């Protein structure tokens, strides 16, 4: 059984985590959260989303948030960009990395952005071309890789097709999203084992939600396949506005506790990560949805 010696954790709490919160989170709170996450040693902190505030009100001030972050050299602060208008706003804010998203499910794509998978990827062509001319890094997300809330089973071939097309367009990495958290370890591993026949494992990341309590087990399974990039959300924040019942991503504290126990390097300091999780949880008026955070806090 082989595991990577080091894993890069991509912190998605300030975007994917907060976007589904009912309580409006002020700009200054988001900035403080991102700064605390940076101080914890996270090398990638997703900072916002340049989407229409009509659809995702929580992300309305992403430009202001991005400009206010105390940016640390060597740390990436990517933002989600859905279209040319979003890209222009991101460029105006001075971003250096963007993320684009597609889905492996036709129905989810229609419900999310009112078009087919083919149309969604084609829409990004102009966005990607301009982003590359501006020397931006581009990351791709694929939703519903282990199941769809509308279609149920999703073909691994569909996931592979979308992954290849995103990479061919210019994405340096593709994050595999189990959007509703329905995946199990065997299925997660089978997906990655099939994908690596066409996509280098070094260009794949795991983005698993913990709806059914399978997040860590699924990550453990794909780590054995060579996955060395994990998306997670501090305090287990979040969900998906287009997938009813989906809970947050697997909690960053839980991921870090597992990786530390496996002696896999991350560069992340648990105590400072706990501070960041406690900060946003206190603001939201609830305890973290991280078992490791709760256990470690109670032990102190």
Q: How many Cα neighbours within 13 Å face the side chain of 141?
A: 23
pLDDT tens string 180-202? 899 999 999 999 999 999 999 99
Give the catalytic positions in this structure: 240
Contact present, 181 and 208 (Cβ < 8 Å): yes
Q: In CATH, what class is 8-299?
A: alpha beta
Mean of pLDDT values over 121-141? 96
pLDDT tens string 64-121? 999 999 999 999 999 999 999 999 999 999 999 999 999 999 989 888 788 899 999 9
What is the DSSP secondary-structure string of the chain? ----SB-EEEE-IIIIIGGG-SSPPPHHHHHHHHHHHHHTT-SEE--EE-S-TTT-GGGTTHHHHHHHS-PPTT-B--EE--SHHHHHHHHHHT-SEEEEEEES-HHHHHHHHSS-HHHHHHHHHHHHHHHHHTT-EEEEEEE-TT-BTTTBS--HHHHHHHHHHHHHHT-SEEEEEETT----HHHHHHHHHHHTTTS-GGGEEEEEB-TTS-HHHHHHHHHTTT--EEEEBGGG----TTSTT--PBPBHHHHHHHHHHTT-B----HHHHHHHHHHHHHHHTS--S-HHHHHHHHH-
Q: Is the pLDDT of residue 241 over 60?
A: no
pLDDT tens string 142-162? 999 999 999 999 999 999 999
Least confident stretch, 20-24, 119-123, 127-131, 168-172? 20-24
- In the chain, the percentage of residues whose pLDDT exceeds 70 is 96
Q: Which residue has the tokens 């949880």?
A: 281
Please state the domain extents for the chain: 8-299
What confidence tier does 243 reach under pLDDT thresholds 50, 70, 90?
very low
Q: What's residue 248's pLDDT? A: 75
**How far is residue 12's CA from residue 44's CA, in Å, rounded to a whole number?**
8
């Amino acid at each position: 059984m082989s595991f990577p010696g080091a894993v890069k954790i991509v912190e998605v709490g300030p975007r994917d985590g907060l976007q589904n919160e009912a309580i409006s989170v002020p700009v200054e709170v988001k900035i403080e959260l991102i700064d605390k996450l940076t101080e914890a040693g996270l090398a990638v902190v997703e900072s916002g989303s340049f989407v229409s505030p009509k659809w995702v009100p929580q992300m309305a001030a992403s430009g202001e948030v991005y400009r206010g972050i105390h940016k640390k050299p060597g740390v990436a602060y990517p933002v989600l960009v859905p279209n040319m208008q979003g890209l222009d706003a991101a460029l105006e804010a001075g971003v250096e990395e963007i993320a684009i998203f597609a889905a492996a499910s036709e129905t989810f794509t229609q419900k999310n952005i009112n078009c087919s998978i083919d149309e969604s990827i084609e829409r990004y062509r102009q966005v990607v071309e301009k982003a590359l001319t501006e020397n931006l890094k581009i990351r791709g997300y694929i939703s519903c890789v282990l199941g769809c809330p509308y279609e149920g089973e999703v073909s691994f071939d569909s996931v592979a097709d979308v992954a290849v097309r995103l990479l061919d367009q210019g994405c340096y990495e593709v994050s595999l999203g189990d959007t509703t958290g329905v995946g199990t370890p065997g299925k997660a591993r089978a997906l990655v084992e099939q994908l690596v026949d066409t996509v280098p494992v070094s260009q794949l990341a795991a983005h698993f939600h913990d709806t059914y309590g399978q997040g860590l087990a699924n990550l453990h399974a794909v780590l054995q396949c060579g996955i060395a990039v994990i998306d997670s959300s501090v305090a287990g924040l979040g969900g998906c506005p287009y997938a009813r019942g989906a809970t947050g991503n697997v909690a960053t504290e839980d991921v870090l506790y597992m990786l530390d126990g496996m002696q896999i390097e991350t560069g992340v300091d648990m105590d400072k990560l706990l501070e960041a999780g406690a900060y946003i949880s206190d603001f939201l008026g609830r305890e973290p949805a991280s078992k490791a955070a709760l256990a470690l806090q109670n032990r102190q």
